[in-house]
Each structure stands twice: as C-alpha cells, then as structure tokens.
C-alpha cells in the first residue's frame, strides 16, 4: 500500500528547499513515505516529518537532516531543533520552516547533511565550486 502524499507540490517553502538541495552535486529528489526526499547515493534530507514519540503530530513544513557531528551538540541545545521519529537514533535532527526561516542557515544545514552522507567524490565536486 502506497503512502499518501504529505506535501503540497506548490508549497513555496518546499520550492526553496528543492532549489537549495538540488543545487548540490548530483543530488536528486524522490518521494519516500509520502514525503520529498533528497539524496545522492544516500538520503541527505527529507521535507516534513514527525517528532520522536509523536503519533499524530506532523510537521509538514520541516527540514529533516543529518548534522555535522561537530555541530550536533550545539544544535541539540537549540530549542528550534527536534528529534524526528524513526531517524533520531541515527543522529538525524529536524527544524520547522514555518516562521520565516533563515535560508542561509537552512542552506548550511543541507550542505552539512550532504557532506555527511555523500560519497567523497561528490564532496570534492562541491568543494571545487
């Protein structure tokens, strides 16, 4: 049974996330579990998610990402970040994008997540830009 779509393709916040994520070398998008998912060989971001332990609380306008291990402790101290269901044991975090997000920060989070998950060859392409 296919998952229902949990996003609006005309969402301007999703459009901005797509623009940032798909600008990274050889990145692509697919729909996974009803949500936009950005990947190279491995997934580096999801658009939307649910907090750890929540059964009905959906955050449809959120970025789920894998932080740089050096930044993770500081991000966990920031109340804006939360642990996404199913992914939190693997170090993933999320941030809501509802209230006028800082797009420079979001681009940095995507960049860091890409670097953590992408093959070294792609990280070298990113660094060569």
Spatial neighbors of 24 by CB under 8 A, at least 6 apart, are: 40, 44, 110, 111, 114, 118, 122, 126
Distance CA 84, CA 31 (A): 17
Are 30 and 13 contacting, i.e. CB atoms less than 8 angstroms apart? Answer: no
Q: Is the dihedral of CA 95, 113, 14, 43 positive or negative?
A: negative
Whats the size of the chain, residue-wise? 129
Q: Which of 89, 78, 90 is nearest to 43 (CA)?
A: 90
Q: pLDDT band for position 2 (50/70/90)? A: confident
Q: What is the mean pLDDT of residues 4-30?
A: 96
Per the prediction, the chain carries an average pLDDT of 94
Query: What confidence tens digit (pLDDT) does each residue in 79-100 have?
Result: 999 999 988 878 899 999 998 9
Q: Choose the CATH number for 12-123 among 3.40.50.1100, 3.40.640.10, 3.90.1150.30, 3.30.479.10.
A: 3.90.1150.30
Q: Which among 117, 123, 120 has a CA at the least distance from the CA of 42?
A: 117
Global confidence as pTM: 0.95
Please give the structure tokens belonging to residue 124.
Answer: 């070298």
Give me the pLDDT at residue 109, please.
Answer: 98
């Amino acid at each position: 049974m296919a998952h229902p779509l949990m996003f609006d393709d005309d969402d301007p916040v999703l459009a901005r996330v797509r623009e940032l994520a798909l600008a990274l070398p050889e990145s692509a998008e697919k729909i996974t579990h009803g949500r936009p998912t950005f990947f190279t060989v491995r997934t580096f971001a999801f658009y939307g998610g649910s907090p750890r332990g929540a059964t009905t609380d959906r955050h449809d306008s959120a970025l789920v990402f894998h932080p740089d291990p050096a930044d993770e402790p500081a991000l966990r101290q920031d109340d804006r970040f939360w642990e996404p269901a199913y992914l939190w044991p693997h170090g993933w975090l999320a941030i809501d994008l509802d209230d006028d997000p800082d797009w420079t920060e979001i681009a940095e989070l995507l960049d860091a997540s890409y670097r953590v998950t992408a093959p070294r060859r792609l990280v070298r392409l990113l660094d060569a830009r």
